[in-house]
Structure 1
Amino acid sequence: MPTKHHWTTTPITADILRGALDTERTANGVLPHRLPASARAQCTDGQLAMVEAQPSGVRLVFRTRATAVELDALATKRVYRGAPPRPDGVYELLIDGRLAGQASAVGGNTLTIDMTAGTAEQQPGAPDTLRFPDLPHGVKTVEIWLPHNEATELVALRTDAPIEAVPPGGRRVWLHHGSSISQGSNAASPTTTWPALAASLGRVELINLGLGGGALLDPFIARAMRDTPADVISIKMGINVVNADLMRLRAFGPAVHGFLDTIRDGHPAAPLLVVSPLMCPIHEDTPGPAAPDFTTLHTGQLAFRATGDPAERASGKLTLRVIRDELARIVTQRATEDSNLYYLDGRDLYGAADFDELPLPDQLHPDAAAHRRIGKRFATAAFTANGPFADRSS
């Protein structure tokens, strides 16, 4: 005979939500945003609007004696016309830091994207109930990590015992900005994106501003980082600038300086780590833009290719090698007056040997196994005793 629960419904408010910089009250519930409204107002790009509302690193956190938890959620599923179906987003429940359950929301809104025509059309759907039963008795800290790649409106949270917020401050806060790889593209779940893994190993609270296609040195993102409380900060930049063929070398260097200047306005002494791009053979020596390679769709895998001309590097077009050299030069220059500024070559996280062993399935994004490797290597490079993010408070 099924257990009869006496449910308590708790409003979803900022005190139980971590990793979001803003929330929006919708007709259905609460939509977490990873960029504040002031930043969203300064860019009308549909890609950025889509990815910043995908709650990578965002989680509900509370203390409770509950043995059953239910979350009503309205997911927005992406469908790429002509491509194989995408897997459903994963919601993960952790108890005292350990995985205790996974679920996916069925139905929901559908966003159909036609990459050839450059159009997107959304069809409304209904919320689903995610159930996490049979949790252990006793007081515990519960976290529900939201999908890293699927927007979700939080409609209702129910538990069979009251909950209370967990006050912040127990751990240092790590603020990270990067591209789709940092957001978690091709990772298996929200707690196994490389930043989530690195945060767990480094015992820090993650705010993940990894934005698919959106690491473009936008000033409004730098201002959002400036205004967000954090103890340690990293920015992983370069691949999207090449993908989008957004700027030339003349503009790139000053844009990096400006981005760093803005962060330093709000965090003058926090350890700040600049990470250059991972190994990505199609763009090592060939400029962008990147374009979908639709010839691979029959294999069930959408891939990408570089469409630039390597000869155009002479006129300032950017490649990953050019960007790594420029980032290393800028950090070396600035570090003479900024002793808390550091550089990490992305190939130390994923390099040529890793590509041979764990190739990029679509030529741009690492797979789930590579995410795990990158997360462990970043934690070792950044959070251990000699790393820039080592905890020296004790």
Structure 2
Amino acid sequence: MNWLDAGLFLRGVAWRDADGRPVRADPDDLGRLPWDVLERARVPVGVRLEFAAYGAEAVELHYRAEAGEVPHAFGLWTDGRQVSETLADPADEAVVRLRLPPREGPFTVYPPESQSPRFLGIRAVGGRIEPAGPRPRWVVHGDSVTEGWWSTRPAHAWPAAAGRLLGLDTVNLGYAGAARGELATAQQLATLPADALTLAFGTNCWGRTPFTPALLGETLRACVALVRQGHPHAPLLVLSPVLRPDAEHTPNALGATLAALRTALEDAVRKEIAAGDGRLALLPGLGLLGPEHLADGLHPNDAGHAALAGAVATALGKLMA
């Protein structure tokens, strides 16, 4: 069994660095980005393998990763559901075998992204595999909620789940601790191939880097304008901040509550739509989650991610129709 180039099977890839590794910021434009964006962009969030199988009883993956102390979990999915999870002992380099059900797929493997795996090869056992066909590409930008924090597996993060519901190739550009409307990021989004896009930021404009409502509104409009330079007609969905109980009515260092910031962001989107952007839509975030959906008062649990995925899939599906 010869090893195949695993890079041909990867999906959810935004950019690749000089060594061919998937990265989540433009490697030729890193100097304009804040340090927290750079840190999170190194983690291959949302990157996965997709393939069809013909007569294969299993697939083997040769990879390197940060060993850590917890098992490396590989989730195998098809038809929108997980069919198995394989746990591999922590190791810097290993080969893991995933047994396949008797069907062609297509299959998706969600790797242990937090261990920053790099795939060196992929091969079939007892048959053959080939890369899955292309799907419409959906680029999603946001903060730690978009990155999938507190979901128990990468496949449960709301962008991954919404992408499955809509049959899209999700490219996750969620940056935990960041996503404050960085204009350099908006310009990078404009350069990426995309059939649809989503912007989901604002929560981090309340705390560590405080915004006023006026500043956030203008930042949103600037981001949309820059994204539109590369994607003038693509469906663009803006998701405003979801519930954060400790911030809703608490002023930040500039006197703005999260509720006021959310209103300003939503008003800015409505103004852009009224000005003629017919491919722009707003999904208000406040009513999508309740306290029971928050694992830590800020980040959704699996049920919260599922609720977000359903709401986003409905809104984006209408926009793409």
Q: Equivalents in 2 of 1:91, 1:364: separation in Å? A: 27
RMSD: 2.5
Corresponding residue for 1:67?
A: 57
Corresponding residue for 2:190?
A: 226
Does the CA-based 8 Å contact 1:74-1:128 persist in structure 2?
Answer: yes
How far does residue 217 in structure 1 lie from its aligned partner after superposition?
A: 1.3
Q: Equivalents in 1 of 2:80, 2:263: separation in Å? A: 39
1:333 maps to amino acid: K
Corresponding residue for 1:325?
A: 263
1:229 maps to amino acid: P
Does the CA-based 8 Å contact 2:13-2:171 persist in structure 1?
Answer: yes
Does the CA-based 8 Å contact 2:10-2:50 persist in structure 1?
Answer: yes
Instruction: Please list, as runs of the form range in 1=range in 2, the aligned pairs for 1:228-247 lying within 5 A after superposition.
Output: 228-247=192-211
Q: Is 1:264 the equivalent of 2:228? A: yes
Corresponding residue for 1:273?
A: 237
Q: Equivalents in 2 of 1:69, 1:25: separation in Å? A: 28
Corresponding residue for 1:158?
A: 123
TM-score, L = length of structure 1: 0.73
How far does residue 281 in structure 1 lie from its aligned partner after superposition?
A: 0.8
Q: Is 1:57 the equivalent of 2:46? A: yes
Corresponding residue for 1:300?
A: none
Do the aligned partners of residues 89 and 363 (structure 1) sit closer, same or farther apart at CA in structure 2, a change above 3 Å counting? farther
Corresponding residue for 1:132?
A: 98
Structure 2 unaligned spans of 5+: none
Instruction: After superposing the two structures, state which structure 1 stretch, 332-341 or 249-258, moved more.
Output: 249-258
Does the CA-based 8 Å contact 1:31-1:53 persist in structure 2?
Answer: no
Corresponding residue for 1:82?
A: none
1:24 maps to amino acid: D
Do the aligned partners of residues 348 and 378 (structure 1) sit closer, same or farther apart at CA in structure 2, a change above 3 Å counting? farther
Does the CA-based 8 Å contact 1:191-1:197 persist in structure 2?
Answer: yes
Does the CA-based 8 Å contact 2:241-2:262 persist in structure 1?
Answer: yes
Q: Given the alignment, which residue of 289, 295, 306 partners 1:372?
A: 306
1:363 maps to amino acid: G
How far does residue 18 in structure 1 lie from its aligned partner after superposition?
A: 1.0
Do the aligned partners of residues 381 and 88 (structure 1) sit closer, same or farther apart at CA in structure 2, a change above 3 Å counting? farther
How far does residue 252 in structure 1 lie from its aligned partner after superposition?
A: 2.6
2:123 maps to amino acid: R
2:62 maps to amino acid: D
Does the CA-based 8 Å contact 1:39-1:221 persist in structure 2?
Answer: no
* Residues 277-303 of structure 1, C-alpha deviations (whole Å, 9 max, x = no match): 001011112245xxxxxxxxxxxxxxx
Larger Rg: 1
Corresponding residue for 2:76?
A: 93
Corresponding residue for 2:157?
A: 193
* Residues 65-124 of structure 1, C-alpha deviations (whole Å, 9 max, x = no match): 22111213333367xxxxxx8x6563222245542322345434xxxxxxxxxxxxxxxx
Do the aligned partners of residues 341 and 150 (structure 1) sit closer, same or farther apart at CA in structure 2, a change above 3 Å counting? same
Does the CA-based 8 Å contact 2:214-2:264 persist in structure 1?
Answer: no
How far does residue 150 in structure 1 lie from its aligned partner after superposition?
A: 3.7
Structure 1 unaligned spans of 5+: 1-6, 79-84, 109-125, 289-307
Does the CA-based 8 Å contact 1:148-1:184 persist in structure 2?
Answer: no
TM-score, L = length of structure 2: 0.88
Q: Equivalents in 2 of 1:103, 1:223: separation in Å? A: 39
- Aligned structure 1 segments of 4 or more residues deviating by more than 3 angstroms: 87-90, 95-98, 136-140, 147-150, 246-251
Instruction: After superposing the two structures, state which structure 1 stretch, 258-267 or 220-229, moved more.
Output: 220-229
Q: Equivalents in 2 of 1:102, 1:319: separation in Å? A: 42
* Residues 170-196 of structure 1, C-alpha deviations (whole Å, 9 max, x = no match): x43222111111111111212211111
Identity %: 28
Corresponding residue for 1:22?
A: 15
2:75 maps to amino acid: E
1:128 maps to amino acid: A
Q: Given the alignment, which residue of 333, 339, 347 partners 2:278?
A: 339
Q: Equivalents in 1 of 2:87, 2:144: separation in Å? A: 21
2:152 maps to amino acid: A
How far does residue 332 in structure 1 lie from its aligned partner after superposition?
A: 1.8
Q: Equivalents in 1 of 2:301, 2:143: separation in Å? A: 15
Does the CA-based 8 Å contact 1:93-1:143 persist in structure 2?
Answer: yes
Q: Equivalents in 2 of 1:286, 1:362: separation in Å? A: 18
Do the aligned partners of residues 150 and 269 (structure 1) sit closer, same or farther apart at CA in structure 2, a change above 3 Å counting? same
Do the aligned partners of residues 64 and 41 (structure 1) sit closer, same or farther apart at CA in structure 2, a change above 3 Å counting? farther
Corresponding residue for 1:141?
A: 106
Q: Equivalents in 1 of 2:117, 2:182: separation in Å? A: 25
Corresponding residue for 1:31?
A: 21
Do the aligned partners of residues 157 and 25 (structure 1) sit closer, same or farther apart at CA in structure 2, a change above 3 Å counting? farther
Corresponding residue for 1:117?
A: none
* Residues 278-335 of structure 1, C-alpha deviations (whole Å, 9 max, x = no match): 01011112245xxxxxxxxxxxxxxxxxxx5xxx41xxxx431121111122112111
Does the CA-based 8 Å contact 2:73-2:86 persist in structure 1?
Answer: yes
Does the CA-based 8 Å contact 1:276-1:323 persist in structure 2?
Answer: no
3-state DSSP of counterpart to 1:37 = coil
